[in-house]
Structure formats: C-alpha cells, structure tokens
Amino acid sequence: MSVLVDRDTRLCVSGITGREGTFHAMNNKRYGTQVVSGVTPGKGGQDVEGVPVFDTFHAAVESTGANTAMVFVPPRFAADSILEAADAGIQTIIAITEGIPAHDELRVYNHLVQAYGPSPPRLIGPNCPGVLSPGKANVGIIPAAFFKEGNVGVVSRSGTLTYQIGNEIAQRGFGNSSIVGIGGDPVPGSSFIDIIALFQDDPETELIVMAGEIGGSAEEEAAAYIGEHVSKPVVAYIAGFTAPPGKTMGHAGAIVSGSQGTAAAKAEALEAQGVRVGRTPTQVAEIAVEILEG
Amino acid sequence: MDLLEYQGKQLFARHDIPVPEGRHARTVDDAVAAAKEIGFPCVIKAQVKIGGRGKAGGIKVAENEDEAREHASAILGMDIRGFTVHELWVEGASQIAAEYYASIIFDRSAKQPLVMLSTRGGMDIEAVAEEDPDAIATLHIDPLLGFQDFHGRRLAFEAGVDGDVVRPIGAFLGRLYGTFVSEEAMLVEVNPLIVTPERDVRALDAKVTLDDNALLRHPDNAQLRDPSAEDPQEQMAKERGLTYVKLDGDIGILGNGAGLVMSTLDVVAQYGGSPANFLDAGGGSKAEAITSAVEVILSNPNVKAVLFNIFGGITRCDEVARGLVEAFDQIKPTVPFVVRLDGTNDVEGRKILADAALPNVHTAATMNEAAEKVVELAR
C-alpha cells in the first residue's frame, strides 16, 4: 500500500505540451506511472511522445479514464486548471506550479470544500514537488532514484529538504511508503493533518516523518491532531530556528510574524504530544532508524 | 510587499474609503508647500515601513509654516528603528471623538479572511488581544460569499461602537473588504479608525501588505516598489531572480530550495557559525545563475567563507559545479568555499570541481561535515 498515488493512478497532465510539463510527464511515465493523457487548450488531437492531448479535462477524463491530475501550467492559469480538473471529476489533483496568487488559492480551497459534498477532490500543493510512492508511481518532480520502497511515510512543506531527509533514511537501509510534498504556500490544498491521517490508515506505513518549517500554525495543529488520533510513531523536523522575524524565507508561507510561527514554538508543541523532533535532518534519520530497529 | 502609509491611503481613496486630505513630500521645501496648500494645523508624518513612528518623534503637528519647516527638517533623514526617513506625508489634522481599530487579515489557518474591529484603537492591538481579547470583535468571511451588510452590523454591535456610527462603520468595513479582495492584499489594517466630532468615519493610518504573487495582475501596485529603500544586495538578487535575505553573520550560504536553505542556516548555527545570508538558487538553476549568485553573496563585505549545500532534484550538480568554476574565473574570490553536492549528476559535479582544482575550495560529503568545515574556515 501507499497513499495518494500507486499502480492504479491514471494521470492527466495539465500543461503537458510546455517544456517543463513534457519533461516531467515523461520522467513520471518512465518511472512506471500510467500517464494516460494531457490537457492543453487548443492542442487537442496532438500527442506528446504517444500521450494523447485534449482541449479540456472533461474530454481527457471521458476518453482516457484519468483519475489523477498534475497541474504544470503558469501561475496565472493554475487556479483555473485545478478547478477544471475538479469539475471534470478528478479526485486527486497535484499542483506543482509555484507563485499562484494567494487569493486564487483561497477561492479554490473554499470552492473544493463547499461544492463537492462529503468527499471533495483532494488537492496536493500548489508549489510542491508532488507525490512519490516508490516502486509504484511518481507524480511530480521528486528525484525518484534516491528513494526505495519501505515503511516510512514522509510529509513535507519543502521539496529539497524532503530529499535530504529521505536520502539519509535510505542510506541507513530503509525506504518509503510514500513521500508527499504539501508545498510552502499560504493556503495548501492539503495540510499535514490530511496526509498524516492517510499514513495512519495505510497498513504499509510504520513510521511517519513530517518536515515542517517556520510560518503559520500548521505544525501546531498537526501536533494536536497527532496527540488525539495517531498511534504510529511520528518524527518531526522544523526548519528555520535561526530565521529572523519579519523576513520571508523563500516560501511565501515561511515568515515569522510577531511571536507566531517560530520553529521553537512548533517543536515544543510537537514534543508536548510525544513527537520526537530532530534538530538536524541527520538526527531525524537517526531517530527514525532507532524507532524502526527498536 | 508592504506599502508605506501614504500609498495605502491612496489605495483606500481609490476604493472610496475616507482618508484625510494629504500630500507627499521628499524635501523640506515640498513639505512646507504641501502644508500651506492643506492649511494649518497639519500633521507631518515620517513614511517608513515600521511601527512606533509617533514614539520615535516621526509624527508632529505643525501650527504654522515655521513649525512645518522645523518638523520636516527634523524628521527627514531621521532614523526610526533602523529605517531612514526619505519621504513625508503631510495631511490635515483631524479632530478625534473616538479611536477604533479595524483590520482584515488573510487567515491561513482558517483559510478565510478574518475581519477584526475594536473600540480600543490607537494602541498596540496585540497588547489589547492579550489583556482583553473580548475587546476585539472578529468574524471570518466566506470568500465565495463576500462581505455582507449584516457582517458589518454584527461586528459593529459586538465591538460596541457608538450607536450612531454602527452603519457608517459597517459600510467602512465593507469597503475595506472590497479593497482587500480586489487589490489582493494579505493584510489591511486601520489604526486608528477615527470618528470625528461631526461623526464622520475615516482612516487615520493605513497598513497594507500586498501579495507579491498577484502583482502581475496589478501593474499600478507593482510600480509602488521602491528599490532605493531596499538593501542593495537584496535588490541585486531580486534583479537576478534569486531569493536572497541578508543576515547579520559572516558565512555566505547558497542552497537549492527554501526548506533546505533554512535548514542549512540552522545547522551552521548549531556548529557555532553565523550565516551572512539566505540564498535560494531555486530549482533547475543553470551555471549562469550560480555564478550570479556567488557575485551576490560576495558583494556583502562581511562574508568570510561560503557554503554551497546542494541536493539536486531538478537542479543538476554538474551545472552548479560549472557555475562555481565560472564564478572563480570571473570574480576570483579570496574567501574559502565549502561545497557539498548530492543528488542529480553529483558524480559529474564533483569531478568538474576536482579537475578544476580551484584555490581554497573544499568539498564535504555530508551537510553536517560541510557546516562544521565552513564554520572553522570563517574563524
């Protein structure tokens, strides 16, 4: 098992005819992901290395049975593309695009929550590296070669930090059930809580690693949730202990405002719920291995 | 992007939010001319992006031309908590019968805008929130529905504003919400929101933060960015498409990906070092971007050693290595470098560095080893 993407994933790529879109769609396909179609308005009927392109998500879903979307279009078109994928009935939407206006993200999030009843489409990202289930499917830009199949579920706000931690775990002989990048934007479609809940229910996942960073309160909310609902061990890392207040550290969401969102407060909230927090990526891997071998 | 008070007020005025009449000035003469045009008494206000201007002496009332000249001379060039005053806003003095507080924030946790109203205006709202949270009325707004009249009434009644201004305050909040949405702000704050003896409602201050990602759709707002007010290195980095934040220390840092760079700063600090900057070269950086980034890092004279920490995903380590070799060719750095390359094409990258045998460039196998080494070299 794994979460979000696996061998049943039938992927439709929005923006497949763009340079980056083609490159990563083909990379995902080579990994073994079923890339069944792409969407580029006005280029319906063409194909990208054998993958058929459609003008609309609705046509792509109807013709190819796509159940998962990857959004790779420029920021000003991305919200529209996410909404179109959802409207076409796609259940899992993974948005890689960086730089989407925050108010667009707000509208998209609230629409998805309000318009689709009890099981709304699941949005991962935007501004994320995607989801990798080693040995099964890769949707996004995670360099799959550094990871192998295993029992550690990883959820992170940052791409390269995920690679760093995942790689250190792999070097110690362990692998991953799934690696989920939820993105560094102010309004992520899925939170730590959403993904941790999936890992808790996934029989293959034995241990959960979460990599957070300064800004917002998602880690504190996750801490409270873990205390109540999660029986599997969780190891956490928080980046940004030395970040000065008031400066945005690369991610739109990573800013310490006043006394809110500091790394120390997040680590404390997690530790209060029994989550072990590593002070370096290496230490996170060491703790994870200690628990797995325990 | 944070706006100056006067830029915020001009934005408010475009959305029919009442603000006192005012003029912008960059020189003492301009300020005096503005004061004469507006009439006395008027207020001379320092325009800096930091709070506590009043306490620092950056806001003064002028009763006549001599006082306007005196205050403008004193305030221009003044240092307010590290910010030099380059601009003034001169506006007519307002009579104040009541001071309220109003704001709308982009509440990331609730994923809805949060509107706040309090009758305890004119003071530090965070202190009010701590001492007496009930003094602030709050309401989340469904962004798909928007701000309705009843929202305004509810906030006004719950905050306990004077009965005769419930409707005008509600209308004011509606316009503030309209500004927040149509200008794509992350924050709009009015403190104080005043009621005059004539029972008019107006914004006496304006604090606005706009979403940088939305500036493409707002060319007028994009022009409000003032490069002269920015740190020269941060400005240079921005022009080159790099994410750079200047810090106080002496170890230059370059990495790929915001999370990994933040983590690198932390690890360097744990080994007793002090980072001189945050620099995210971004995903898929080509050699030229790396060369350019080295130039930005070294333009800070405090830098005594530089750490490259790369975990290549879409970034290729051979491109990073080529960029560093090119930087040595062009800039001829004199400080030591420590380079850690892992990920896509790391073997090729390390080979390029080994072949180039750059002076004073050290390699490290892990992030921790790299941090330890660079801290030693900066000593």
Identify whether residues B69 and B113 lie together within a single domain. no
CA-CA distance, A236 to B366, in Å (whole number)? 20
Task: State the ipTM, two decimals.
Answer: 0.90
Q: Which amino acid is at A212?
A: G
Q: Tell me if A61 sits within 8 A of A88, measured CB to CB.
A: yes
Residue A77 with chain B: CB contacts under 8 Å: none
Which residues does residue A211 pair with via DSSP β-bridges, in sequence order?
Answer: A156, A237
pLDDT band at A245 (very low <50, low <70, confident <90, very high): confident
Identify whether residues B347 and B252 lie together within a single domain. yes
Q: Tell me if A151 sits within 8 A of A173, measured CB to CB.
A: no
The answer for A45, left when phi > 0, alpha when psi is -120 to 50, beta otherwise, is: left
Distance from B266 to chain A by nearest Cα, in Å?
6
Final residue of a structural domain among B46, B73, B92: B92
On whether residue B14 sits in a domain, the answer given is no
CA-CA distance, B303 to B61, in Å (whole number)? 44
Q: Tell me if A66 sits within 8 A of A40, measured CB to CB.
A: no
Residue A142 at interface with chain B, using a CB cutoff of 8 Å: yes
On whether residue B131 sits in a domain, the answer given is yes
Long-range contacts: B369-373, Cβ < 8 Å, 24+? Answer: B369/B340, B370/B307, B370/B308, B370/B309, B370/B338, B370/B339, B370/B340, B371/B264, B371/B267, B371/B268, B371/B270, B371/B271, B371/B273, B371/B307, B372/B271, B373/B338
With CB atoms and an 8 Å threshold, state whether B280 touches A250. yes
Residues of chain B with pLDDT under 50: none
Q: Comparing C-alpha atoms, which of B230, B250, B168 is closest to residue B201?
A: B168
Q: Tell me if A90 sits within 8 A of A47, measured CB to CB.
A: no
Q: Which amino acid is at A111?
A: H
Q: Comparing C-alpha atoms, which of A12, A168, A75 is closest to residue B263?
A: A168
- Look at chain B and report how many structural domains it folds into: 3
Confidence (pTM): 0.92
Residue A107 at interface with chain B, using a CB cutoff of 8 Å: yes
Tell me whether residue A103 is one of the annotated catalytic residues: no
Q: Are strands A130-133 and A176-181 parallel, antiparallel or unpaired?
A: antiparallel
Q: In sequence order, which residues have a C-beta less than 8 Å from that of residue B31 and are 6 or more positions away?
A: B25, B44, B68, B69, B72, B76, B88, B90
Q: Tell me if B256 sits within 8 A of B310, measured CB to CB.
A: yes
Identify whether residues B299 and B374 lie together within a single domain. yes
Identify whether residues B218 and B244 lie together within a single domain. no
CA-CA distance, A108 to A123, in Å (whole number)? 9
Final residue of a structural domain among B175, B205, B222: B222
Q: What percent helix, strand, coil does chain B show, rounded to 5?
A: 40, 25, 35
Residue A40 at interface with chain B, using a CB cutoff of 8 Å: no
Q: In Å, how far are A38, A79, B90, B347 from B48, measured between CA atoms? A: 49, 35, 14, 50
With CB atoms and an 8 Å threshold, state whether B342 touches A143. no
DSSP for B311-341, please give it. EESSS-HHHHHHHHHHHHHHH---S-EEEEE
CA-CA distance, B341 to B336, in Å (whole number)? 16
H/E element holding B176? helix B166-182
Burial class of A228 by CB neighbour count within 10 A (0 to 12, 13 to 18, 19+): exposed
Q: Which amino acid is at A128?
A: C
Identify whether residues B155 and B130 lie together within a single domain. yes
Q: How many CB atoms lie within 10 A of CB B276?
A: 25
Please report, to the nearest 10 degrees, the dihedral formed by the alpha carbons of residues B116, B117, B121, B126 taken in order. -30
Percent of chain A, pLDDT > 90? Answer: 86
Q: List the single best residue of A160, A165, A256 to mutate versus B (max B Cβ within 10 A).
A: A160
Chain A's closest residue to B49, CA to CA, is: A246
Segments making up each domain of chain A, as ranges: 10-124, 147-293
Region A218-231 average pLDDT: 96
At which residue do the structure tokens 């790396």 appear?
A: B290
Looking up residue B337, the CATH number of its domain turns out to be: 3.40.50.261
Chain B's closest residue to A280, CA to CA, is: B267
Identify whether residues B62 and B154 lie together within a single domain. no
* pLDDT value, residue B83: 85
Q: How many CB atoms lie within 10 A of CB A203?
A: 8
Residue B169 belongs to what domain range?
A: 98-222
* pLDDT value, residue A258: 61
Q: Which amino acid is at A35?
A: V
Residue A77 at interface with chain B, using a CB cutoff of 8 Å: no
Nearest beta carbon to residue B211 from set A102, A160, A239: A102
H/E element holding B289? helix B287-298
Region A83-87 average pLDDT: 98
Note the helical H segments in chain A. 19-31, 57-64, 75-87, 102-115, 159-171, 192-201, 218-229, 263-272, 281-293
Final residue of a structural domain among B203, B222, B241: B222
On whether residue B7 sits in a domain, the answer given is no
User: pLDDT at residue A167 above 70?
Assistant: yes
DSSP for B210-277, please give it. E-GGGGGG-HHHHTT--GGGS-HHHHHHHHTT-EEEE-SSSEEEEESSHHHHHHHHHHHHHTT--BSE
Surface of B (200-259) touching A: CB under 8 A? 211-214, 216-217, 243, 245, 247, 255-259
Number of residues in chain B:
379
Nearest beta carbon to residue B258 from set A242, A250, A281: A250
**A230 token code pair:** 């999660």
Tell me whether residue B369 is one of the annotated catalytic residues: no
User: Is there a common fold for A10-124 and A147-293?
Assistant: yes
With CB atoms and an 8 Å threshold, state whether B258 touches A213. yes
Identify whether residues B108 and B167 lie together within a single domain. yes
Residue A110 at interface with chain B, using a CB cutoff of 8 Å: yes
On whether residue B275 sits in a domain, the answer given is yes
CA-CA distance, B201 to B165, in Å (whole number)? 8
H/E element holding B125? helix B125-131
Region A68-79 average pLDDT: 96
Q: Comparing C-alpha atoms, which of A267, A283, A286 is closest to residue A275?
A: A267
* pLDDT value, residue A16: 96
Identify whether residues B142 and B215 lie together within a single domain. yes
With CB atoms and an 8 Å threshold, state whether A242 touches B266. yes
* pLDDT value, residue B240: 82
User: pLDDT at residue A257 above 80?
Assistant: no
Q: In sequence order, which residues have a C-beta less than 8 Å from that of residue A127 and are 6 or more positions away?
A: A95, A96, A97, A98, A99, A100, A183, A184, A185, A251, A252
How does pLDDT run across A10-46, given as a tens digit for each residue? 999 999 999 889 999 999 999 999 999 999 999 999 9
Chain B's closest residue to A109, CA to CA, is: B111
Long-range contacts: B268-273, Cβ < 8 Å, 24+? Answer: B268/B307, B268/B371, B268/B374, B268/B375, B269/A241, B269/A242, B270/A279, B270/A280, B270/B371, B271/B368, B271/B371, B271/B372, B271/B375, B272/B375, B273/B249, B273/B371, B273/B374, B273/B375, B273/B378
Identify whether residues B373 and B328 lie together within a single domain. yes
Identify whether residues B242 and B205 lie together within a single domain. no
Q: Are strands B83-84 and B79-80 parallel, antiparallel or unpaired?
A: antiparallel
Q: Which amino acid is at A171?
A: Q
Mean pLDDT value across chain A: 94
Nearest beta carbon to residue B262 from set A114, A213, A279: A213
Nearest beta carbon to residue A186 from set B106, B262, B368: B106
Q: Comparing C-alpha atoms, which of A132, A102, A114 is closest to residue A215?
A: A102
* pLDDT value, residue B229: 63
Torsion sign over Cα B247, B252, B256, B261: negative
* pLDDT value, residue B136: 93
Identify whether residues B234 and B372 lie together within a single domain. yes
With CB atoms and an 8 Å threshold, state whether A159 touches B283. yes
* pLDDT value, residue B230: 67
Identify whether residues B340 and B236 lie together within a single domain. yes
Looking up residue B65, the CATH number of its domain turns out to be: 3.30.1490.20
Question: What is the CATH number that goes with domain A10-124?
Answer: 3.40.50.720
Domain A147-293 bears CATH identifier 3.30.300.30: no
